[in-house]
Amino acid sequence: VNYVGMTYGPIGAFLAEFFPSRIRYTSVSVPYHIGNGWGGGLVPIVTTSMYLSTGSVGYALIYPIVVPAVMFLIAIFVMPETRKHSIWEEGAIEATRSRA
């Protein structure tokens, strides 16, 4: 339960920083929910098939644990820092990218 709280608690504020206010809701919600549907929907199928093919629970947990961890590490280095920019300004993230 703590892991879920630590993950989903700050995600709304974290994702909202990356889009201008006029398109923020759509830009965050559509990919987020499509990703949850595909990623979360495939977990039981992929994990079960990996377990049945190998007989190892550890190998079966690669998809639901290792894949998100790797994606998180990639996101840390790819996503721009928005700490010094107002999220209320139009094009705040574009200004960050143009200065970098």
* Domain layout of the chain by residue ranges: 22-99
The answer, as to whether pTM is greater than 0.85, is no
What pLDDT does residue 98 have?
Answer: 57
Which pLDDT value is given to residue 1? 66
Tell me the C-alpha distance between 12 and 35, whole Å.
Answer: 15
CA–CA–CA angle 70, 35, 51 (5° rounding) = 60
pLDDT beneath 70: ranges in the chain: 1, 85-100
Tell me the per-residue pLDDT of 33-59, one tens digit each, with 9 for 90 and over: 898 888 888 889 999 999 999 999 988
Q: Which among 32, 31, 30 has a CA at the least distance from the CA of 11? A: 32
Provide the pLDDT for residue 49. Answer: 93
Q: Which pLDDT score is estimated for 88?
A: 64
